[in-house]
Amino acid sequence: MRIVRDLEAAKSLLLKRSPIELAAGSPALKQRIRDVFSRELTLDEAVGRILSEVRARGDSALFDYGRSIDGVELSQLEVTQEEIAQSRSAVGKELMSALELAAERVRSFHVAQKRNLGLEFVEGGLGFLVRPLERVGIYVPGGKASYPSTVLMTAIPARVAGVGEVVVATPPAPDGTVPAATLAAAGIAGVDRIFKVGGAQAVAAMAYGTESVPRVDKICGPGNIFVTLAKKQVYGIVAIDGLYGPTETVILADDSANPVFCAADLLAQAE
């Protein structure tokens, strides 16, 4: 975490940005690319290679990249209904209650939002109509960045909007499992299908479609630099919600603010 204490330092830091496709990556990341592709590639080139392979070879490429990138050997890509059902007991009552409460609040907000979109047509036929998409894909990060909140904050608005089908892609652990909290949140949010696919290959699968993963109309959700670069490259083939990086947080507080709350707000975003 970097603490900026004055305006000039903030300007210098925030205005010094390079295009994401020029990101060099760490030495470890570069070595990982060499290990997977047996040659020197930039991050953007590696993502392009993954997209092309998935588009050409479908599920076969997904299994191959799951093996070479995620270190997981899968027999099938889709999460079973049994796995989803077992997740409810695996997460425990306290977390389930928290997820259900969060879901209720997210749903209430978006129901009110939809109600106030202003669909009335005025004189002369001016106005607008809102039509839900047929199918939306959600990328849910895994590993240390496994956030069930991502499922709630993306799948529930889709359901409120009336999206016909909601699918999730998330990277599995080396043993082929998906975090129980992610599955439980998916069940609460009304997700239709979940696939054990991560990284740029997951974005490719949802953008182009494979034998197992259906092609979607829009891809939502955050991810690492490979996911972000992949979303940028498939934009135009499929809609995306945005390109996300680490959270930038600003705390505005005076001497009446509770320092414990200020610290908690900062730490909650200390990715």
Residue 3 has pLDDT above 80, yes or no: no
**Single pTM value for the model:** 0.85
Mean pLDDT in residue range 254-270? 90
pLDDT range class, residue 18, cuts 50, 70, 90 = confident
Q: What is the mean pLDDT of the chain?
A: 90
Higher per-residue pLDDT: 115 or 104:
104
In this predicted structure, the answer to whether residue 142 has a pLDDT above a threshold of 90 is no
Q: Which pLDDT value is given to residue 5?
A: 81
Give the helix/strand (H/E) hosting 259.
Answer: helix 259-267
Yes or no: say if 47 and 229 are a contact pair by the CB < 8 Å rule.
Answer: yes
* CATH 3.40.50.1980 describes domain 17-112+133-245: yes
The Cα–Cα gap between 209 and 219 comes to: 12
Question: In angstroms, rounded to a whole number, what is the distance separating the alpha carbons of residues 179 and 87?
Answer: 8
Give every CB contact of residue 271 below 8 A, 6+ residues apart in sequence: 145, 246, 247
Domain boundary assignment for the chain: 17-112+133-245
As a whole number of angstroms, the distance between CA 113 and CA 107 comes to 10
The b-or-e profile of 4-18 (16+ CB within 10 A means b, else e) is eeeeeeeeeeeeeee
